Amino acid sequence: MEGRGVAQKRIVTLTINPALDRNTRIERVSPNDKLRCEPPQREPGGGGINVSRAIRRLGGQSLAVFPCGGPIGEMFKALLAEEGGEHHPIDIEGTTRENVTVFEGGASQHYIFIMPGPELKEAEWEGTLEGVRGLDRAPDYLVASGSCPPGVPADFYRRVAELSHDLGSRLIVDTSDEPLRLAAEAGVYLLKPNMRELGQLAGQEIESEEQQIAAAKELVGSGQAEVVVVSMGAGGALLVTDELGEHLRTPTVPIRSRLGAGDSMVAGIVLGLARGESVLEATRFGIAAGASAVMTPRTELCRREDTERLYQRLTSGET
């Protein structure tokens, strides 16, 4: 799925809690000491932002909508501009958050420090919805991904779902807890829960693959989603629609870092769909993108050449 000469439908990502991600390395982490780190790397991050960045790395296009403010926000926008791609920031009074990841030793171990984000006023988080609504052309696919910062109601993703219905957009949601449940109640095109989140949606602990398929089928049958892709880490993904219930294995790859794999997977799925692939082939492409991200160091996202090679392995039946 190289995408050469393939017309791509419009993808828009919405990230309500973006973050400037800093990552560094130290030989050993110990308490109460001054820990002298390597020079940090800085990247724009947050669920939908990473999805847009990964789409670009895979040879596709998307528009990223997000709230942004303060000096950190200015750096955030500058880093996005360096990478290219379209983005539509919504100005806020607060300052965009920073997250810090510290890799220890040979980078096999890492520590992630996640900040809550600035408190958004009602007019600010509503402004992100209006930012999507006011686009010159409605998205064919809208990806809403990531956590909610302070001030944003738990039903924010439900409101995004209602917006997608108004626009005629297919909504892909990747979040957790109450925001995920409320979005599902409104009905979306595709949900991408992990095993824990699937259990939250089902209201029960899920252990066997039969229970996984049954829980996902219930989401589809009740109209909460047309497609459910349950991410299972090294185990691949479970794809469920009204016609499918298939466990797709991930290819075996050398592991350097699992960070960014989930967002890369979503990027591969939505890009495949936007290029007209079936949901099965798009999910395979997403699995390949997630596996590609695992092969990259630190917080680097998927690489196009690795993704396409791994996708060919999956389509030929190799693992």
The per-residue pLDDT for range 184-225, each reduced to its tens digit, is 999 999 999 999 999 999 988 888 888 999 999 999 999 999
Backbone angles phi, psi at 99, to 5 degrees: -115, 155
- Beta strand 86-91 pairing with 11-14: unpaired
Query: Given a cut of 60, is residue 5 above it in pLDDT?
Result: no
| CB neighbour list of residue 278: distance below 8 Å, 6 or more residues apart | none
- Beta strand 188-191 pairing with 97-104: unpaired
CA dihedral 298, 300, 302, 305 (to 10 degrees): -100
Does this model's pTM top 0.85? yes
Q: Which residues are catalytic?
A: 263
Name residue 218's amino acid.
E
Query: Given a cut of 80, is residue 1 above it in pLDDT?
Result: no
Pair 272, 282: CB distance under 8 Å: yes
DSSP string, 78-144: HHHHHH-SEEEEEE-SS--EEEEEEEETTTTEEEEE----PPPPHHHHHHHHHHHHTSSS--SEEEE
Tens of pLDDT, residue by residue over 76-118, are 999 999 999 899 999 999 999 999 999 998 766 899 999 999 9
| CB neighbour list of residue 140: distance below 8 Å, 6 or more residues apart | 9, 10, 11, 169, 170, 274
CA distance 177 to 171: 18
Q: What is the mean pLDDT of residues 303-309?
A: 97
Paired tokens of 77: 């926008």
CA distance 46 to 16: 8
